[in-house]
Structures are given as C-alpha cells and as structure tokens.
Amino acid sequence: MVVKVGHRGAAGHEPENTLRGFRRAVELGADMVELDVHLCGSGELVVIHDDTVDRTTNGTGAVSELTFEELSRLDAGLGERIPTLDEVIDVADREIGVNVELKGLGTAGPVHEVIEGAISEKGWSRDGFIVSSFHLGELAAIRELSDQVRTGVLLARDRGGILEFAELNKAYSIHPYFGNVDSEFIGEARDRGLRTFVWTVNDPADIGEMKSLGVDGIISDYPDRI
C-alpha cells in the first residue's frame, strides 16, 4: 500500500504547517504528515516553510531574526500560531508518522534531539519519523548523529549522483518531484534499497499515474485524494 503523506499538514484544506492542518490530516486518514522546520532567533525549532514569515502570516521578517515569543504573536491563518516541532509530534500522537523536512541550515542536530526525546519520553518508535532535506549536508549531519534515523533525500530532478549519495547516506527513501520520475528511476532506487516518495501530487489523475508507477509514498496537499 502506498504511504499517504499530508503535505504541510493538509495544505489544500487548512493553513499550511499549522496544528489545525495537522489535525485535519489525521482526520482525513493520512499515514504521515510532512512539515518544514527552521531555527528561530531564540533557538527553538519552528514549523514554517519559508525563511521569512511574510507569505504565511500577518507579520514580516526573517524567521532566524524573530524570537519564539515574537513568532507566537503572529497569525499563521485562521488564528493559528506557528507551531513547534514538539507540538506537531503531540498532535500526531503516534497515530500517524511525521516527515520532518530540514528546511533551515543547522536543523539536523536539534531535530535529532527532538526525535530522540519523542522516542525515550513519549513512546514513539523510530519508524514513526522520516527526516528529509534538499540540503545534503544536513542529511550527512543527521546520519553522523545516528545510524538508525530514517532519512529521505529530496530532489527536484536527478542531475546525476543523487541515488549514489542516498545509498551512501543509508537513506530510507528518495523524494523526487513527481513530474520527474519514471519507472526506470523508481527501479534504480529500489535496486539501491531506496523507497520513492513523490511530491507534491494533487491532481487525481497524477495520483493514479504515480500509483501505477509503483511509488512507495505520495505527498499531497489533499491526503484524502490518495
């Protein structure tokens, strides 16, 4: 069965990367939620896609220059706050998995710490998490910290060498843009022991095509369509 992943929560239905969106993904039957993390000015891991708050909140400024208190005062849509990674993990509450995308640089160590905390203190199992990134350095950094964490290598298009990197990283999965995959790519990934999770697939016809290609996971703003 294909793994159904709610993109930024359930961004087609609710404000992206908000607790409201993550709760909606659970209700819609997603197997996992995908989210983006950055470090804010006061050092907390916050769940937001861009490196500024301008597009998704009523504020302005760089996430890295705003304190958690300042970020908490902003409206991220329908009165929602920008959540922390810990808050999203508590909403998922082991019912569904969490795909943490390391969007900001320097997030590998803090995310590893939060995941280890969820495993030791909240009863999560390691396979409840996939840590993905376009930043190969962040993926290498998290692999240095743990040989068990599941990593996912994000890419738009394979320009050569990415499957080799993923295999060397002992990645769990490879996460390409859905428009750039074909059965040959999926087969080569599989031969290297890698699952393929595609993003961001919203059109039902495209979702059907990805299923027939045999992908392992589909990341969608509408997890209910998968």
Q: How far is the CB of 69 from Ca ion (least distance, A)?
A: 25
CB of 214 to ligand G3P, least distance (A): 19
Q: Which of 13, 49, 112, 135 is catalytic?
A: 49
Nearest residue to ligand G3P, by Cβ distance, number only:
199
Q: Are 38 and 51 in contact (CB under 8 A)?
A: yes
The mark string for 4-43 relative to ligand G3P (x by CB under 6 A, - otherwise) is ---x--------------------------x-x-------
Q: Is 38 a catalytic residue?
A: no
- Choosing from 22, 124, 172, 199, the residue that interacts with ligand G3P (CB under 6 A) is 199
Residues 82-141 that bind ligand G3P (CB under 6 A): 101, 132
Per-residue b/e over 138-154, b at no fewer than 16 CB within 10 Å? Answer: bbebbbeeeeebbbbbb
**Tokens 């299923």 — which residue?**
211
Distance CA 56, CA 77 (A): 7
Q: How many helices (H) and strands (E) does the chain have?
A: 8, 9
Query: Can 13 be counted among the known catalytic residues?
Result: no
Residues in CB range of 159: below 8 A, 6 or more apart: none
132 binds, among ligand G3P, Ca ion, none (CB under 5 to 8 A by kind): ligand G3P
Answer whether 89's CB lies under 8 Å from 117's CB.
Answer: no
* Catalytic residue numbers, as ranges: 7, 49
Which residues make up the interface to ligand G3P (CB under 6 A)?
7, 34, 36, 49, 101, 132, 154, 175, 199-200, 219
